[in-house]
């Protein structure tokens, strides 16, 4: 039985897409809605439509992917329209917002609020692929300001998508900031590991066109970093739920994220590579692990990672 709860709402399975993958346009969103995913999220949106960066802007790597999409999206009103059509009885919908400025974020959350959609807002504080913009997730003063402003502009609970952190002092400082804001109900860890580089030896060139080949790294390369961030924030933010993202392509990976403290596990690179049927496979693989271990329910092991 893979059913569970997220912030009091029932989920058929603790699986969903990672924002950016299979969620740019209605066709893809409808495919996610029909899939075995227990929840879904829209592409991070900006106030107005963007074409994104020149192609090629995604490349498959031996253990994952590199991308610099540049926030191609249809503009927030397109996703708001989808959110108003979505069947919330079928599965919860998250609404990913990635304003280029604080004001854009405030405008978008105000409009989402006025639309009375049940979608849960996920504010993306970690988009690494808009040249000239530093990630808010790495600017702790800006992080505090945006959480304060959104908390006063937006009446409902919301979540934040964070970049990976690599230092215990940073886990402490970010968690302390998040814990000042009761409306921050969930934390999604992690976005891609920013600004990696991979090289084709034959042609002696980079693999993607934007940013001289630099791009966000996803897939199995990032699994240990993702698990560390999930567990670090799970331990430090006991009042919040954690959504795990990073390096998930098998039921074992899902199980690890759940053990580390995730309540839902997102799939990015592997969903891009395999398509929406991956959710059915991950459910079978996770169910098999639970059966082998004698677990009936996710709650029996979720967050119960042991230390030695």
Query: How many whole angstroms separate alpha carbon 130 and alpha carbon 190?
Result: 18
Residue 124 engages ligand DHB in binding (rule: CB under 6 A) = yes
Please give the size of the binding site for ligand DHB, defined by CB under 6 A.
Answer: 16
Q: For the chain, what is the total number of helices (H) and then of strands (E)?
A: 9, 16
**In the window 23-82, what residues touch ligand DHB (CB under 6 A)?**
44, 52, 68-71
Q: Which is closer to ligand DHB, CB of 216 or CB of 219?
A: 216
Query: Three-class SS of residue 197?
Result: coil
- Are 46 and 86 within 8 A, CB to CB? no
Query: How many whole angstroms separate alpha carbon 292 and alpha carbon 137?
Result: 39
Cβ neighbours of residue 89 closer than 8 Å, sequence gap 6 or more: none
Binding to ligand DHB by CB under 6 A, coded x per residue (else -) over 142-161, reads --------------------
- Please confirm, yes or no, whether 127 is among the known catalytic residues: yes
Among 65, 129, 266, 269, the residue binding ligand DHB under the rule CB under 6 A is 129
CA 308 centroid distance within chain: 30
Q: Which is closer to ligand DHB, CB of 189 or CB of 298?
A: 189
Q: Which is closer to ligand DHB, CB of 191 or CB of 302?
A: 191
Binding to ligand DHB by CB under 6 A, coded x per residue (else -) over 199-218, reads -----------------x--
Q: Shortest distance, CB of residue 136 to ligand DHB, whole angstroms?
A: 11
**Helix/strand/coil percent split, the chain, to 5:** 40, 20, 40
Q: Shortest distance, CB of residue 49 to ligand DHB, whole angstroms?
A: 13
Residue 126 engages ligand DHB in binding (rule: CB under 6 A) = yes
Instruction: Provide Rg for the chain, Cα atoms.
Output: 18
- Are 109 and 79 within 8 A, CB to CB? no
Q: Which residues of this chain interact with ligand DHB, rule CB under 6 A? A: 20, 44, 52, 68-71, 98, 124, 126-129, 191-192, 216
């Amino acid at each position: 039985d893979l059913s569970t709860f997220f912030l009091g709402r029932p989920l058929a399975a603790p699986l969903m897409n990672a924002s950016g993958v299979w969620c740019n346009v209605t066709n893809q969103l409808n495919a996610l809605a029909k899939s075995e995913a227990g929840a879904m999220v829209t592409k991070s949106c900006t106030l107005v439509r963007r074409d994104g960066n020149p192609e090629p802007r995604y490349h498959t790597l031996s253990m994952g992917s590199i991308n610099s999409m540049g926030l191609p999206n249809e503009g927030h009103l397109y996703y708001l329209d989808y959110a108003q059509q979505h069947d919330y009885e079928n599965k919860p919908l998250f609404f990913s917002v990635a304003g280029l400025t604080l004001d854009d974020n405030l405008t978008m959350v105000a409009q989402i609020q006025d639309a009375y959609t049940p979608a849960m807002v996920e504010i993306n504080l970690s988009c690494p692929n808009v040249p000239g913009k530093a990630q808010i997730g790495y600017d702790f003063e800006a992080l505090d300001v945006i959480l304060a402003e959104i908390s006063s502009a937006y009446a409902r609970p919301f979540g934040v998508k964070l970049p990976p952190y690599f230092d215990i002092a940073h886990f402490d400082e970010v968690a302390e900031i998040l814990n000042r804001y009761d409306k921050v109900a969930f934390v999604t860890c992690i976005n891609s590991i920013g600004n990696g580089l991979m090289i084709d030896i034959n042609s002696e060139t980079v693999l993607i066109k934007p940013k001289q080949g630099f791009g966000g790294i996803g897939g199995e390369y990032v699994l240990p970093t993702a698990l560390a961030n999930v567990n670090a924030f799970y331990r430090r933010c006991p009042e919040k739920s954690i959504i795990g993202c990073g390096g998930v392509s098998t039921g074992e990976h899902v199980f690890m994220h759940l053990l580390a403290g995730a309540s839902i596990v997102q799939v990015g690179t592997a969903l891009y590579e395999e398509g929406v049927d991956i959710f059915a496979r991950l459910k079978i693989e996770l169910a098999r692990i639970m059966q082998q271990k004698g677990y009936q329910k996710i709650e029996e092991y979720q967050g119960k990672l042991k230390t030695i």
